[in-house]
Amino acid sequence: MLASASPRRRDLLAAAGWVHAVRPADVDESVRPGEAPLACCERLARDKARAAVDRLDGTPAGGVLAGDTIVEVDGRVLGKPADRAEAEVMLRDLSGRVHRVASSVALLEVATGEIVSGTAVSEVRFDALDDAVLSAYLDGQEWAGKAGAYAIQGDAGAFAHLVSGALDTVIGLPMGLVETLADAFGDDR
């Protein structure tokens, strides 16, 4: 079961041949005071997996896969913007710079409650964004619901470029890490 409403995560799983049901988990995604960005990302993935199990009726077999993605610049976490104005501030902050994108994955075995998790990190470089490019991107609404206010696999791919790491990490579900965690449970999908 995938504890995420993200169509991008569903698509990545399906492309890898994973059969899954979707049952989104809703948790408070606030960064805790003093919490390091990568620790926050992994905690949120684990919290989402547990929240999804808590919502289940009965005790089904199998596992729950949850993920979280953050954008980090200057040690600050850029989450999902609340509105266009916040998205613009985030995109201006990323303009012309390299930043990190972390995607954490948690896999919880429902029968035992055992949970394993990990985090993958990639770097992305933004071109300098002029007002016309920024305005056009904001008008397209692609920023809504996206960490750091962009989707590299969408229109932002015109100005956001992978520097290191894996593209699926930036999209939101590092499949190599998913496979490694699934192997820990002996899961063959």
Per-residue buried b or exposed e for 51-67, using 16+ beta carbons within 10 Å of the residue's own CB:
bbbeeeeeeeeebbbbb
What is the sign of the dihedral through the CA atoms of 6, 68, 146 and 168?
negative
The CA distance from 58 to 120, in Å, is 33
Q: Is 26 helix (H, G, I), strand (E, B) or coil?
A: coil
Q: What one-letter code names the amino acid at 77?
A: V
The CA distance from 58 to 64, in Å, is 14
**Residue 68 is among the residues annotated as catalytic for this protein:** yes
Contact 21, 10 (CB under 8 A): no
The CA–CA distances, whole Å, from 175 to 44, 112, 141, 169, 182 equal 18, 24, 27, 8, 10
From 47, 68, 93, 168, the catalytic residue:
68
If one counts every other C-beta atom within 10 angstroms of the C-beta of residue 122, the result is 21
Catalytic residue IDs: 68
